[in-house]
Every structure is written in C-alpha cells, then in structure tokens.
Amino acid sequence: MRTVLITGATSGIGRACAVSFHKAGYAVLATGRNTAALAELKNELGDNCYTMAFDVCDETAVKHAIESIPDEFKNIDVLVNNAGLALGLEPEYEGNTHDWSEMIDTNIKGLLGMTRLIVPNMLERGQGHIINIGSVAGDAAYAGGAVYCATKAAVKAITDGLRIDLVDTPLRVTLIKPGLVETNFSNIRFHGDRDRASAVYRGIEALTAEDIADTVLYAAQAPAHVQIAEMLILATRQANGSIIIRH
C-alpha cells in the first residue's frame, strides 16, 4: 500500500485530497493545526489514516511529529505540500506585517521544511513524488495581493528548482496551480468576514476542493515514466488571477 502525507488536511483542498487518496487505496498521513477537524477526518476515513497536529511554521514540532510517525506509515510515497493561506487584500503600503510574516512562514518556509524532512527518505528508497499546491496568483500579481502572489511565485520557483535537483533520480515533482476555488480560503483571508468572503464567489461557478483533489490524485497516479510538471486549473469563466466574468 502506498502512503501519502498531506499538510493542511483539516479543510478545503487538503481535506479533499485526504479523502480522494484514501478512496484510491492509499494510507493517509493527514496533518494540520485543528485537532478537532483531524479527529473528525480520522473518524471518517477509519483504517489506514494517521493524523498529526502541528503548525508547519513550527520547525521543532514538525521535526518531532515526523520522527514519531509509526513504522507502518514511515515510507512516504507522495508528499502533498498543501498548507498555505492568504491574509488581507490591502495595498502593499497599507499591509499588515504580521499577515505578511504568517504567509511567508507558512507558504514558503513551511513547504521547504516539510520537503527537507521527507525527500531524503524518498531518495534512500529510490521512489517518491512531491506535489506542491501553488496558485494562479503565482503567475502575476493582482491588486492587494502582492505578498501572497510573491509567496506563490516562490512556490513555483522552489518546485522547479527541486525538479532540477532531482532530475537524475526516479523522484517526480509536480506543481498544481488552482484558480478560484470555493473553500474557507477567502474567509481566512478576510479574517472571518463571511459577507466579504462570499462575495468572492458570487456570480461564477467556482472550482471545488474536490476538483483540485482529482487533479492531484491524477498526477500522483500517472505512470512512473510520466512526470506532470505543472497544471493550471481555472474555472471556466476565469482567464487568469484577476480576470473573472460574473453573471
């Protein structure tokens, strides 16, 4: 049985990935900060699911959690670096520096930390797949999103760099770039302002977390000689990070 480790698995894309991979017969290592949500996920998936509560920004906690993985889950075949967030939509000159730090620490440093801990074991075993969740926002900046867009541009550069570093190995590296996905993403971005968050998805049939989970699983299940380097997934009436047609 193959094993997948998914960060940020308590909601949205991460949770949908956990469910999809489990249905496909994978053993699932699900991580996140919300212990109640992890317990609910474990209860739903049952066997072959192991949960770990930690913040990817906490290097010590991450290292301890990875070292404590039970033997039956230790050989990780797929790493899905999904944990990430956007905070605020103010002009850069009015931005909240705490929000900036949290985005940089989670979206960039958290992803790097997980990769550093998991990939060496993949190399020892001669197999593995790293799938990073980026964003269409990493392709070009949009108003109010300078720092978030910068973090997702960094995810693309980090993913491309890792693929180069591993080109002489059997390991594969994939970047998944979602567009507008209706999850709790905007509610977090606007610090719990649900009216403002719901307006983001008004007038367009946005993607769902399950849509993205389908593409992640597809990439993971491609034949060993096939490396899906990058996938951009948009809603039908979305052209890029800033052009959306609403009705």
Tens digit of each residue's pLDDT (9 = 90 or more) over 95-124: 999 999 999 999 999 999 999 999 999 999
pLDDT digits (tens, 9 = 90+) for 120-139: 999 999 999 999 999 999 99
What six digits make up the tokens of 14? 């991460």
Give the separation between CA 66 and CA 54, rounded to whole angstroms. Answer: 10
What would the pLDDT profile of 23-71 be if each residue is shown by its tens digit? 999 999 999 999 999 999 999 999 999 999 999 999 999 999 999 999 9
Per-residue pLDDT at 194 = 94
> How much of the chain exceeds pLDDT 70, in percent?
100
Q: What is the pLDDT of residue 114?
A: 98
φ and ψ at 32, to 5 degrees? Answer: 175, 180
Element at 232 (helix H, strand E) = strand 230-233
* Residue-by-residue DSSP string for 3-39: EEEESSTTSHHHHHHHHHHHHTT-EEEEEES-HHHHH
Determine the Cα–Cα distance for residues 210 and 71; give it in Å rounded to an integer: 30
Tell me which residue of 50, 51, 4 sits closest to 25, measured CA to CA: 4
Helix (H, G, I), strand (E, B) or coil at 53: strand
Q: Which residue has the tokens 């998914």?
A: 6
Domains of the chain: 3-233 (3.40.50.720)
Sheet containing 172-178: which strands, arranged edge to edge?
49-53, 27-32, 3-6, 78-81, 129-133, 172-178, 230-233
* 79, 227, 232, 136: CA torsion to nearest 10: 50
Specify the pLDDT at position 144.
96
With vertex at residue 13, the alpha carbon angle to CA 16 and CA 236, rounded to the nearest 5 degrees, is 105
Query: Residue 160: how many CA atoms within 13 Å on its side-chain side?
Result: 9
Amino acid 142: pLDDT: 96
The token duo for 178 is 């979602």
When pLDDT is cut at 50, 70 and 90, the band that residue 4 belongs to is very high
What pLDDT score does 236 carry? Answer: 97
pLDDT at 219: 98
Is 201 a known active-site residue? Answer: no
Q: Which of 26, 50, 142, 148 is catalytic?
A: 148
Non-local (6+) Cβ contacts of 9 within 8 A are 15, 17, 18, 28, 30, 31, 32, 38, 41, 51, 82
* 20 and 217 Cβ atoms separated by less than 8 Å: yes
* DSSP at 166: T
CA–CA distances in Å: residue 222 to residues 27, 54, 203: 18, 30, 35
pTM of the model: 0.97
| Average pLDDT, rounded, for the chain | 97
- For residue range 128-174, what is the model confidence (pLDDT) as tens digits? 999 999 999 999 999 999 999 999 999 999 999 999 999 999 999 99
